[in-house]
Amino acid sequence: MRITVIGTGYLGATHAACMAELGFEVLGLDVDPARVVSLSQGRLPFHEPGLPELLKKHVESGRLRFTTSYQEAGAWGDVHFVGVGTPQLPGSGAADMSFVESAVLSLAQNISKDSLIVGKSTVPVGTARRLREIIRENKRPGVSVDIAWNPEFLREGFAVADTLAPDRLVIGVASPEHESVLRQVYAAAIADGVPLIATDFETAELVKVAANAFLATKISFINAFSELTEIAGGDIRTLADAIGLDERIGRRFLNAGVGFGGGCLPKDIRALQARAGELGLERSMRFLQEMDQINLRRRARVVWLSRSMLGSLSQRNIAVLGITFKPDSDDVRDSPGLDIANKLFEDGAEVTVYDPAGNANAHRRFPHLNYLGSLRDAVKNAELVLVLTEWEEFKALTPESLAALTPARKIIDGRNILEHSIWDDAGWSIGSLGRRYWPARNVPSQDAAQLEVSSGSVP
Ligand code: UDX
């Protein structure tokens, strides 16, 4: 069985390399010639642990190739996975479906042997059925082409492991034959005991958005309680530990902090609301609007806390450590850390930024910020240090190690990764999300209202 993977971003490049690792011959297709050249030379254009090695191994073995040609892919492949992006449409919460539609149309027009197209992108419910019509209307006569849906649940930073050993496989299929094709593709994982759920198109599409909506809700739930403990008193980490011990709740995804970002959760909950609205069910998913707002208010809270700790922001030196949306990634899409750094800059602060992997991508997005190549350089003249992504390098900070590098004795722990009593005892002033910082007791009402306003660059 020959496999093509259309779109070689995070999802597609990982899927292509992992399919090659499973023993298939794989052809990756991207409309970006520069990306195809880079991948063909075994160079991965983004950061993902373990993936560069896999890519190099299979490019060298000849099992994994890349092209820009739909004609080549359509003539060669038996199963065509589609993993192109569905970004948020500017000025709307809805997903931009143009890349998926164009990929499926190009495939339908170019497939010259019986094949199955398998959608992996995260899409609004109803997409697979609509694409099926596009395929029927555009495929070549005499060639059998149909569609299945197989959502991807991979997490950045764990993409290879999540693809090779997923916790479940979900496939939306229109016939037992298509189920059997996908069972062959995933035979190794199935043999290892990974559960496979075969269902209809709509359920398969919804499983993905429901999972992401649930995860976003879980994070915003604990962050809403942070808002309470910041004013009423209490410790959000202990609260999360205690409720997390209830097996029905579970501790994972209850880490309070600056909230969720990245290329999936924020856009997916907005796209789900938009789709529900189209279906006349706006109220059913309205709670997600609240989850989105809770999430964005966390960013405003860090700006507020910075101002409280420094007295004012104008021309004050602030070092921001961590601007990727999470550690072990260079992805700064909708990143809370980068959004906060930019907001502080807009409010007049002198911001220096350091991230172990995200500086280059962040520079492309906000070129006006001052990016430095090491923690040491970033904190050199700082009056306040913000830790906004939980990289190991920042988790390992101690009051003594940091005090040797910076005149600052003020720090904000945006991810609840530092042991507060140690910093307190060492004479540092430490602010955090989910614990009371003394000025918070007297938040004037206009400041409280300001916290309602989302910060900076909501895409
Ligand atoms: C997510 C889903 O986990 C994955 O299944 C889906 O396929 C794509 O979207 P990813 O975007 O890689 O994956 O990131 P994830 O690890 O889920 O984290 C999302 C965001 O939530 C990050 O910004 C992270 O810092 C934040 N987060 C996560 C918290 O703030 N608290 C938590 O407890 C967990």
- Ligand 1 atom nearest the C-alpha of 258 is 30
Site residues for ligand 1, CB cut-off 6 Å: 152-156, 212, 215, 219, 253-255, 257, 259-262, 264-265, 325-326
Give the pLDDT confidence score for residue 96 in this predicted structure.
98
pLDDT at 443 over 50: no
Q: Do 344 and 211 share a structural domain? A: yes
- The span from the CA of 314 to the CA of 105, in Å, is 53
The whole-angstrom separation of Cα 18 and Cα 21 is 5
Nearest-CA residue for ligand 1 atom 16 is 155
Query: Do 408 and 429 belong together in one domain?
Result: yes
Kindly give the number of the ligand 1 atom that is closest to the alpha carbon of 265: 9
Residue 437 pLDDT grade (very low, low, confident, very high; cuts 50, 70, 90): confident
Do 38 and 120 lie in one domain? The reply is yes
Strand partners, 119: 82, 149
Q: Does residue 265 contact residue 212 with C-beta atoms inside 8 Å? A: yes
User: Of 199, 215, 239, at which residue does a domain stop?
Assistant: 199
Is residue 326 domain-shared with residue 433, that is, in the same domain? yes
For residue 456, is pLDDT > 80? no
Residue 440 pLDDT more than 80? no
Tell whether 100 and 165 lie within a shared domain: yes
Q: The domain containing residue 363 runs over which residues?
A: 200-459
Boundary-marking domain end, from 199, 219, 249: 199
Question: Could you report the per-residue pLDDT of 43-84, keeping only the tens digit for each?
Answer: 999 999 999 999 999 999 999 999 999 999 999 999 999 999
C-alpha span between 94 and 91 (Å, rounded): 9
Task: Tell whether 54 and 139 lie within a shared domain.
Answer: yes
pLDDT score at 449: 44
Question: What pLDDT score does 269 carry?
Answer: 98
Question: Looking at 169, 199, 229, which one is the last position of a domain?
Answer: 199
Tell me the torsion sign for CA atoms 322, 327, 328, 332. Answer: negative
Structural domains of the chain, count: 2
Mean pLDDT of 86-96: 95
What is the predicted pLDDT for the residue at 436? 86
pLDDT in tens, 270-287: 999 999 999 999 999 999
Give yes or no: residues 355 and 405 share one domain: yes
265 CA to middle of ligand 1, Å?
7
Express each pLDDT in 167-209 by its tens digit.
Answer: 999 999 999 999 999 999 999 999 999 999 999 999 999 999 9
The answer on 208 and 192 residing in a single domain is: no
At residue 133 the predicted structure's pLDDT band, cuts being 50, 70 and 90, is: very high
Of the candidates 360, 410, 365, 357, the residue with the CA atom closest to the CA atom of residue 387: 410
CA of 403 to the centre of ligand 1 (A): 32
> Cα of 211 to ligand 1 centre, how many Å?
11
Query: Dihedral sign, CA of 277, 256, 306, 350?
Result: negative
What's the rounded Cα separation, in Å, for the pair 378 and 319?
Answer: 6
For helices 127-138 and 98-110, give the axis angle rounded to 10 degrees. 30
Q: Which residues are catalytic?
A: 264
- pLDDT-based confidence at 24, cuts 50/70/90? very high
Cα–Cα distance for residue pair 89/85, rounded to 1 Å: 12
193 and 316 in one domain?
no
pLDDT at residue 438, as a whole number: 57
| pLDDT (mean) for 427-443 | 75
Question: Is the predicted pLDDT of residue 87 greater than 80, yes or no?
Answer: yes
pLDDT digits (tens, 9 = 90+) for 389-418: 999 999 999 999 999 999 999 999 999 999
CATH number at residue 263: 3.40.50.720
| Cα–Cα nearest to 257, from 415, 390, 377, 137 | 415
Q: How far apart are CA 291 and CA 218, in angstroms?
A: 9
pLDDT (0 to 100) of residue 217: 98
Q: 312-360, pLDDT tens digit by residue?
A: 999 999 999 999 999 999 999 999 999 999 999 999 999 999 999 999 9
Question: Per residue in 220-274, pLDDT tens?
Answer: 999 999 999 999 999 999 999 999 999 999 999 999 999 999 999 999 999 999 9
Asked whether residue 388 falls in the same domain as residue 351, the answer is: yes
Q: Are residues 193 and 124 in the same domain?
A: yes
Q: Looking at the whole model, is its pTM more than 0.85?
A: yes
Same domain (yes/no): 193, 210: no
